[in-house]
A and B are shown apart, each in its own frame.
Chain A
Amino acid sequence: GDSVTQMEGPVTLSEEAFLTINCTYTATGYPSLFWYVQYPGEGLQLLLKATKADDKGSNKGFEATYRKETTSFHLEKGSVQVSDSAVYFCALFRGYAGGTSYGKLTFGQGTILTVHP
């Protein structure tokens, strides 16, 4: 079955440090890939997405590239801020499988990021 593996956290960084959160996936076909962010006490917000191999998603200084050869979608940011402290979820979506559409997002376990001033 489909699965997403994220690097274990928590990750603690100082402000302006470089961020990488690793994400690898297992899925048949050609899924779309997503990063969602969840701030304390809130729902999930879409951070960025990529729908095909070699696509780069970017938003708010965050970037991730869909690498089919390594089945990866690592999240990066060049300079983190205290306001980036949150839980980050990598997810895949394989909307069409075996002749039936299927609307299930498969999530990784989440990575807690804490940024100190």
Chain B
Amino acid sequence: DTEVTQTPKHLVMGMTNKKSLKCEQHMGHRAMYWYKQKAKKPPELMFVYSYEKLSINESVPSRFSPECPNSSLLNLHLHALQPEDSALYLCASSPGTGVGDTQYFGPGTRLTVL
């Protein structure tokens, strides 16, 4: 089983709202990722967690706050977003971050910021 689940599937929020995206995997993977994808573009890496510790932050604005409560869960907390943050947010996981490790993606959360 190579399933990564994400909730919610769709989210509409105002610029003053606080919301969270959730990602879950039960494959025993020790690395988890958040990506942002704009229409007709490849995904852009935002954060990498390895063994529940944040190992990479790709200079993402502080209005995005990741959290990894345990090895199976990854959250992305959103606050004071801008309309240009509207995008598909993808979560992925991999066994580790070695060169042979494959990243498996979830279905994504379609975020619209009004």
Contacts and interface: CB of A to CB of B under 8 A. Distances in A.
Interface of A: 29-32, 34, 36, 42-46, 49, 51, 89, 91, 93-96, 101-105, 107-110
Given A103-B55, A104-B45, A43 B99 contact: no
Interface of B: 2, 6, 31, 33, 40-43, 45, 48, 50, 55-56, 88, 90, 92, 94, 96-108
Contacts of B108: 42-43
Given A103-B31, A103-B94, A110-B41, A32 B105 contact: no
Name the residue among A36, A44, A110 with the largest chain B CB count within 10 angstroms: A44
B42 A102 contact: no
Given A44-B43, A94-B99, A102-B56, 19 more contacts: A29-B99, A32-B99, A32-B100, A43-B88, A44-B105, A46-B2, A46-B103, A91-B42, A95-B100, A96-B99, A101-B50, A101-B55, A101-B98, A103-B48, A103-B103, A105-B103, A107-B42, A107-B43, A110-B40
A95 B98 contact: yes
A96 B48 CA distance: 14
Given A44-B43, A103-B31, A49 B102 contact: yes
A104 B101 CA distance: 11
Nearest to B101: A95
A105 B97 CA distance: 10
A49 B104 CA distance: 12
Q: Which of the listed residues B43, B92, B94 has the most CB atoms from chain A within 10 Å of its own CB?
A: B43
